[in-house]
Structure 1
Amino acid sequence: MYRLLGGMRVIEASSFVASPTCGMHLAQMGAEVIRFDQIGGGPDFRRWPRAGNGASLYWESLNKGKKSIAINLGSAEGRELATALITAPGPAGGLFVTNYPVDGFLAHARLAALRPDLVTIRIMGRADGGPALDYTVNCAVGYPQITGPESLGEEVVNHVLPGWDLLTGAYAAFALLAAERHRRDTGAGQEVRVPLSDMAIASVANLGMLAEVLDTGADRPRLGNQVYGAFGRDFMTADGKRLMLMAITPRQWTGMVEALGIGEAVVAIEAERGVSFARDEGVRYEHRDTLVPLVEQAIARRTLADLASAFDPLGVCWGPYQTMREAAYDPDLVRANPIFAEVEQPSGARYPIPGAPATIPQAERLPPARAPRLGEHTDEILAEVLGLGSGEVGKLHDSGIVAAG
């Protein structure tokens, strides 16, 4: 964690992946992020994966570093309390992240009537307000039809990584900072809506893939593990290990050719086909029918350790395939990685959790903070943000409007 956003208070009302991810990124850069939840937990409070005692590892991983207040949102008093939190006065506040519907008690116009400079970042499924999740967006933009081997034919492949959720959450954090800067310069608040479906199709277009299909009139074919437009795919070593090998830049290509000792064979192919592989990654892709078997044979004769010692000094871009469990014990990725610290979470489980993925050499890296217990900061928030006295807080507890963790 870093202190870059100290003095910024963000109220979060969210569930699932994209919206909590937005708040998590802001918290890891130093913002005070306060999320309010229904007493007993919202719809994602017990989502899988779970710890052995049933606590959600999912929920606590996405909400680390935040504060929590539990409110009875089914009551008018609870909704008024949530509204008061969002619109609380002061230069630090007036920043709200949510994936609640456009209409209802958290509608921006209703909140802005109480605080005109309010900045609302609203993560949505579709721009028209309709529901959508990562999988229902992904299926519509064409990736399942081009993922996997050619032998699948017309079968589709759903992805495992919720990429659109994660990308939308990160973009929403950027949008909040942009809107907050605009408010600082002009004094004006605003609502910024970030639909998951727009994030997905915009990303497809930004990668040139939309233009590609419109230009060619055809969908991109399935390529299995072959990287489109470049030399890159998986290979098996002599000791039965699988690695991913990429050669996009000229240095990566020449380093790979030297490390594998296939220079003469490559020159012969270039002469035979009247091409040069040194500069253009697309040419390597076009001639993969002869380059892939050549590299495949060279790698199959050597062990992973032997290849690693040859690849690394020459700047070859490669990586071993690992299971997620192997990755969890990998010293470079996790165990000796300074973004991680082993922390006991509210579930009672102790495991490495990451702070901000960014490294800022000029700033002190603080250890990542655990997730809150549901309602852990209820009394603190009521007192410090809303200025309520102990008697008033006690009455809210007695009437079931709030709960402490």
Structure 2
Amino acid sequence: MYPLLTGLTVIEASSFVASPTCGLYLAQMGAEVIRVDQIGGGPDYRRWPVTPGNDSLYWENLNRAKRSVALDLSHPQGRELLQALVRATGQFVTNFPAKGFLAHDTLAAGRADLITVRVMGWADGSPALDYTVNNAVGYPMLTGDGPDPVNHVLPAWDLLTGSYAAFALLAALRHRDMTGAGGEVRLPLSDVAIGTVANLGSLAEVITTGADRPRLGNTVFGLFGRDFVTGDGVRTMIVVVTHRQWANLVAALGLGDAIAAVEVTRGVSFAADDGARFNHRDALFPLFESAIGARAHADLATAFDAGGIVYSAYRPMHAAVADPALVANNPLFGACENPSGAVYPAAGAFATLPAMTRQPPRPAPRNGADTEAVLTERLGLSSGEVAHLIDTGIAGTTT
């Protein structure tokens, strides 16, 4: 954690990945993020993976360093309390619907400079998930080698949207500091997805060529890159992104003469032309398959490291977790007590900031752990008033 956003309080009412990710990143940079959920937990409170005791490992990691308020949001008074918290702080992050009791105009009626960041599915307000948006923009029809679509396991659009939401909130805060104006920032998953397609040139590619890109399996489009199997059976991804890497890869594998012969036959030069390496992969790949397949992975790794060649063996996630460079010896991780009681390294802020020490990660709260304190601090309720809310089931605390 870093104390860069100390003094900033954000109310978060959300579920699943994108909106909680926004709150997580803000909290890791020092903001006080108060997550408000239904008493007993929202729809993601038991989201898999879970412990044997049915505590969500997903939830307690996406909600680290936050505070938790539990309210009965089905009750008018519970909704009024959430509205009051939003107005009292002036910053609100949510993926709840844009209509109803959390509509920005409704909330801003009591706080004109309120900034709301609303994560959405589609721009028209209709629901969508990462997995359905990904299908809509076409990536599963580019992944794999066909004919069936291949979904991604990683919820990339959720994570990108959460990151962009945190950035957008800070930009809106800067605008408010300069003008005094609040407003609602709407951030649909669909716009993040199709906008990213455009930023990567793929939208222009389809329009200008009039066709979809061919499905290439593990081959990298437009570069020399693919998976190869070493002599001892280790499947390894190799990608060339600079001309020097190409020269060093050819030298490491002793393929100079064979590559030169292909260049003469095809009338091309591969030395400084990514496109030529890609277009003539039918001639190049068999040469590399043979050379790589004749050597052990450890031998190749030594040669590749010396040449600055980008490569990585495929491995299951449990092997990555056991890699000291990634986890045990990585200052990103720290020890932290978890609400579930499970013991494992906890991730802190990703960035390393100059002249600042990354603070240890903090745990996620139990549902309602901070209800009493937040209602007292932020709304000025007395202990008796808070006790009455708890006794009547409007507010909840951990048990």
TM-score range relative to shorter protein: over 0.9
The match for 1:249 is 242
- The letter of the residue matching 1:138 is N
SS in 1 for 2:80: helix
**Deviation of residue 285 (structure 1)?**
0.6
Q: Does 1:237 align with 2:230?
A: yes
Match of 1:223 among 178, 201, 216: 216
The 5 A counterparts of 1:119-138 are 119-138=115-134
**Deviation of residue 270 (structure 1)?**
2.0
Give the distance between the partners of 1:43 and 1:245, measured in 2 at CA: 41
**Deviation of residue 261 (structure 1)?**
2.0
The match for 1:17 is 17
SS in 2 for 1:41: coil
The match for 2:98 is 102
The match for 1:54 is 54
**Deviation of residue 16 (structure 1)?**
1.0
User: Quick one: percent identity of the two aligned structures?
Assistant: 62
**Deviation of residue 313 (structure 1)?**
2.0
Provide, for residues 381-400 of structure 1, a one-character-per-residue CA deviation record: whole Å limited to 9, x for no partner.
11222222222221211121
The match for 1:187 is 180
Kindly indicate whether the alpha-carbon contact (under 8 Å) linking 2:72 and 2:393 is maintained by their aligned counterparts in 1: yes
The match for 1:374 is 367
Q: Does 1:111 align with 2:107?
A: yes
SS in 2 for 1:37: strand
**Deviation of residue 272 (structure 1)?**
2.5
SS in 2 for 1:385: helix
- The letter of the residue matching 2:135 is C
Give the distance between the partners of 2:260 and 2:2, measured in 1 at CA: 51
- Superposed CA RMSD in Å reads 1.2
Match of 2:275 among 282, 289, 292: 282
- The letter of the residue matching 1:27 is A
Match of 2:318 among 318, 322, 325: 325
Structure 1: runs of 5+ lacking an equivalent: none
Q: Which one is further off, 297-306 or 222-231?
A: 297-306
Normalising by structure 1, report the TM-score. Answer: 0.96
- The letter of the residue matching 1:94 is G
**Deviation of residue 327 (structure 1)?**
1.0
**Deviation of residue 280 (structure 1)?**
2.2
Provide, for residues 62-84 of structure 1, a one-character-per-residue CA deviation record: whole Å limited to 9, x for no partner.
11111101111111111111111
Give the distance between the partners of 1:33 and 1:346, measured in 2 at CA: 18
Provide, for residues 71-129 of structure 1, a one-character-per-residue CA deviation record: whole Å limited to 9, x for no partner.
111111111111111110xxxx3111000101111000011111111110000011111
Kindly indicate whether the alpha-carbon contact (under 8 Å) linking 2:335 and 2:360 is maintained by their aligned counterparts in 1: no
Give the distance between the partners of 2:272 and 2:32, measured in 1 at CA: 48
Provide, for residues 239-288 of structure 1, a one-character-per-residue CA deviation record: whole Å limited to 9, x for no partner.
11111100011122122122222222222222322222222212211111
**Deviation of residue 322 (structure 1)?**
1.1
The match for 1:156 is 149
The match for 2:194 is 201
Give the distance between the partners of 1:110 and 1:170, measured in 2 at CA: 26
The match for 1:300 is 293
Give the distance between the partners of 2:110 and 2:236, measured in 1 at CA: 57
SS in 2 for 1:215: helix
Q: Does 1:146 align with 2:142?
A: yes
Q: Does 1:83 align with 2:83?
A: yes
Q: Which one is further off, 12-21 or 254-263?
A: 254-263
Provide, for residues 7-45 of structure 1, a one-character-per-residue CA deviation record: whole Å limited to 9, x for no partner.
111110000111111111111111111100000111111
Give the distance between the partners of 1:146 and 1:114, measured in 2 at CA: 48
The match for 2:338 is 345
Give the distance between the partners of 1:344 and 1:251, measured in 2 at CA: 47
SS in 2 for 1:192: strand
Q: Which one is further off, 9-18 or 289-298?
A: 289-298
SS in 1 for 2:5: coil
**Deviation of residue 370 (structure 1)?**
1.3
SS in 2 for 1:60: helix
Match of 2:304 among 278, 295, 311: 311
Match of 1:167 among 136, 141, 160: 160
Give the distance between the partners of 1:43 and 1:104, measured in 2 at CA: 19
Give the distance between the partners of 2:314 and 2:138, measured in 1 at CA: 26
Provide, for residues 291-310 of structure 1, a one-character-per-residue CA deviation record: whole Å limited to 9, x for no partner.
11111111111111111111
Kindly indicate whether the alpha-carbon contact (under 8 Å) linking 2:71 and 2:394 is maintained by their aligned counterparts in 1: yes
- The letter of the residue matching 2:314 is Y
- The letter of the residue matching 1:327 is A
Where in structure 1 do 4 or more consecutive aligned residues deviate above 4 Å?
A: none
Structure 2: runs of 5+ lacking an equivalent: none
Give the distance between the partners of 1:142 and 1:197, measured in 2 at CA: 12
The match for 1:32 is 32
Give the distance between the partners of 1:402 and 1:260, measured in 2 at CA: 67
Give the distance between the partners of 2:33 and 2:275, measured in 1 at CA: 46
Give the distance between the partners of 2:203 and 2:26, measured in 1 at CA: 32
